[in-house]
Structure 1
Amino acid sequence: MLSRKNNSGFGWDEHRQLVVAEDAVWNSYISSHKEAAQFRHRSFPYYDQLTAIYAKDRATGKDAQTAADIIEEINVEDVAATNSHEERNDFHGSEADVSLDDMDLSATQPQPESQLARNQGDSAFSKKKKKISDVSDFSTSFNDAAALLAENIRTVGLEISKSITSEVVIQQKSEMTIQESALKLYSTLCEVEGLTEDERYRALSKIPDHPTQMLIF
């Protein structure tokens, strides 16, 4: 959608990382694709990273196909193969009365009908198997990327948790040190010569307001 000009009225908000469109465009699209309603206000913060991972595997242009397109094409090929087989049976039935003397067998030796049907069936099966394999490979790659992303998020979360815990421990130790110093402040003031009782209480009410100076004192 980002690389093509005809986006049916949809666009991409780089700042908010989400798909945008006029209300009329959204309402029209959701009316026929109800499952799309959940993405109207949902952002895709990892779009750029996933694009970088899958850029070489992404189909573009007129030949791009989704998984639904591939399954539909497989079903069409199955119907075409069946019709072709039936037409070939009708053709051989209509030609059954032709004499072998009237046919020129010198140019080529035709394969038996069973062999032709088997070859065509094998070809259709191979194509079907390859397409299903491509869909499976894409699904596996996407799941691997999602698992890797989840693991990275978990690792970052653990590191943040450790950092927060460490800061909390340091803060708690600092508060305990200040409290212990405050408890010792009066006895320390009593050791200072020349201070009256009033002066001690005045100092006791002022010094705790400045924890760093109290620790130095």
Structure 2
Amino acid sequence: MFQGISLSGFSWNSETQLIEAEDEVWDKLTDSKPDAIMLKMKKVSNYNEMLELFARDRVSGAHSETAKERNARLQKNDNIRVETIAELDDLLASKEVTLENQCIFDDDIQVLDSMVSPPKPSSNAKKCKSKKRKLEQEDEAEAFNSKLVNCLDYVANAISEGNKILAETNEIFDRAYHREFTGEQICNELEPMGLEPNEIPDALIYLANNQAKARILFSCPLQMCVGILKGIMKDGK
């Protein structure tokens, strides 16, 4: 707003926080820049801070450097050596450089410009990566083979157990199918049939001598057993 205009006659009042000047001084400014009239009654509470921020003077020590000057310096040097961690952090934070572990010499930290391509991996590095990949593949193959063997063992054990169960089932079936009834068992089966007392001895002897017919008879419903018994005994005689 004041660029190109002599600031003679203007001052800032810390109590009122206003930029003050005589009316004729303001008139001279507003004649060339009418928008400046708003500054006449506008408080500037942070005047001192703005003065410090926008002042032309700055530090001039040995390590003073603007961002523009630092960028120019970086472009001139492909390899940059830093001496403090703070300086290194600043360079990394600005993303102007990248840190390469391979570039540390004589206990100094060396930083490469981000525009410089990283070095290509050496043949030894390639061999190490290839060997590592091969070992990883071998470990994976060994783990797979171990799992496969365990699965086959599990299947074999399951088949073996199944065969045992099948054999036991067949044995039980054979025992049931070829069951041999004793005289006492035959009498116990005949009692519910309601036979006459003189019929039981003949039926007992006949069934004891014909175990196959006894198994058939005793597997039939009770209400049918008397008829079946008399029929098979009649045919047997």
TM-score, length-normalised on structure 2? 0.29
Higher strand fraction (1 or 2): 2
Larger Rg: 2
